[in-house]
Amino acid sequence: MLSLPFVSSPDDAFFEDLKVGREYVSPGRTVTETDVVMFAGLSGDYNVLHTDAEHMKGSLFGERIAHGLLGLAIQQGLASRGEPAAAHGLLTAVKWKFKGPIRLGDTIHVRSRIVGLKGGTEPGQQLVTVERQVMNQRGEVVQEGESEHVLGSRKP
Amino acid sequence: MSSPRIDTSVAPSQVYFEDVELNVPLETPGMTLTAAHVALFTGMTQDVSPRDDGFVPDLLALCISSGLGWRVPRPPLAVLAFMGFEWRFLLPLRVGDTIRSISVTNTKRSLREGGVVIEERRVVNQRGETAQAGKLTLLVAKRPKP
């Protein structure tokens, strides 16, 4: 069973409240054909992997799959609903691996862990590194990586 | 008429692993980032992080550069899978900025099925400043045997 949606508590809204090793689980979301079609339109990536059902019958995957970057974008949204706001400053860097396909109709959620905190007294010096795994409904890790965020504001 | 680098009358319909040229820069047309892009992207990703007006989500430019990447003077690359990437966000982008991307393939590694291609890519704004940059790893098909 997936855990219930996590709601950030006001206690961990600031950099000072984050702890290395703290883990979070996001709500789930079903990735639909509509998501893939809309993402093709928005990004302009109409590669056959995502848009040609007939071609993909004969492919490695046997069917259309979601864009890897659509999975990345959706997990970022899911993570923003499952992690404290302080872990969601502006992105400075991402290292990411696409380990398996997200198929139309798959339901994904994100498991995150804070792995690095670099302090500083000024905004812009506080860096949070988060490790994330995107899991499907079968418990397979379909994407994983690490992102680094910089905080734009701090505890008054 | 200017002479295109690839004669499309004989060019393959796709660029396979064997055809990928190393160290040849490919530049895309530009795309102006609008409030509509931001609204669509935010609605699709449901990122609830509070941001100010005119803010362009960090990942939106990366996603648009993936689509722009197909619009280069070369037939489409026969991508089997996107394996991973490393990316740095160097400058903020705002609604109204126009981005394009410039990429260079600098590594090719042949596998039994297909091959791995590593592409260095920069996303630049209308002033030519690099806003985002990194490298993308793609699995590309080999040319089918006749």
A41 CB-near residues (< 8 Å, 6+ apart) = none
Nearest residue in chain B measured CA to CA from A76? B47
Nearest Cα of chain A lies from the Cα of B105 at a distance, in angstroms, of 19
Please tell me the predicted confidence (pLDDT) of residue B51.
78
Mutate one of B31, B65, B85, B132 to test the A interface: name it (highest A CB count within 10 A).
B85
Is the pTM value of this prediction over 0.95? no
Radius of gyration of the CA atoms of chain B, in A: 17
Residue B84: list chain A partners with CB under 8 A. Answer: 95-98, 145
**Signed CA dihedral, B27, B28, B34, B38: sign only:** negative
Does residue B141 surpass a pLDDT of 80? yes
* DSSP-derived 3-state class of residue A41: helix
Section B58-65 average pLDDT: 96
The Cα–Cα gap between B140 and B105 comes to 12
Strands B31-32, B98-110: parallel, antiparallel or unpaired by DSSP?
antiparallel
The Cα–Cα gap between B75 and A148 comes to 35
Residue B67: name the closest of B33, B93, B34, B31 by CA: B31
Please tell me the predicted confidence (pLDDT) of residue B2.
52
A67 residue type, one letter: H
What's the mean per-residue pLDDT of chain B?
91
Within 10 angstroms of residue B122's Cβ, the number of other Cβ atoms is: 19
Q: Which two tokens stand for residue A56?
A: 């993909």
CB contact under 8 A, B84 and A43: no
The Cα–Cα gap between B143 and B51 comes to 46
Residue B132: name the closest of B107, B99, B106, B104 by CA: B99
Q: Which two tokens stand for residue B115?
A: 């091959």
Residue B94: name the closest of A90, A75, A42 by CA: A90
Tokens 């809309």 -> residue: A38
A63 residue type, one letter: E
> Tens place of pLDDT for every residue, chain A, 156 residues?
344 444 444 445 678 888 999 999 999 999 999 999 999 999 999 999 999 999 999 988 999 999 999 999 999 999 988 888 777 788 999 999 999 999 999 999 999 999 999 977 776 678 999 999 999 999 999 999 999 998 764 444
Q: Which two tokens stand for residue A77?
A: 């949204």
Give CA B91 to chain center in angstroms. 18
Within 10 angstroms of residue A119's Cβ, the number of other Cβ atoms is: 9
Nearest residue in chain B measured CA to CA from A88? B49
Chain B residues 76-115 with a CB less than 8 Å from chain A: 76, 79-89, 92
What are the pLDDT digits (tens) for B68-91?
Answer: 999 999 999 999 999 999 999 999
Q: Using DSSP, how many helices (H) and how many strands (E) does chain A show? A: 4, 6
Is the CB of residue A35 less than 8 Å from the CB of residue A78? no
Rounded-to-10 torsion of CA A79, A83, A86, A91: -20
Nearest Cα of chain A lies from the Cα of B1 at a distance, in angstroms, of 28
Residue B44 or A88, more confident: B44
Closest CB from A78, A88, A96 relative to B49: A88
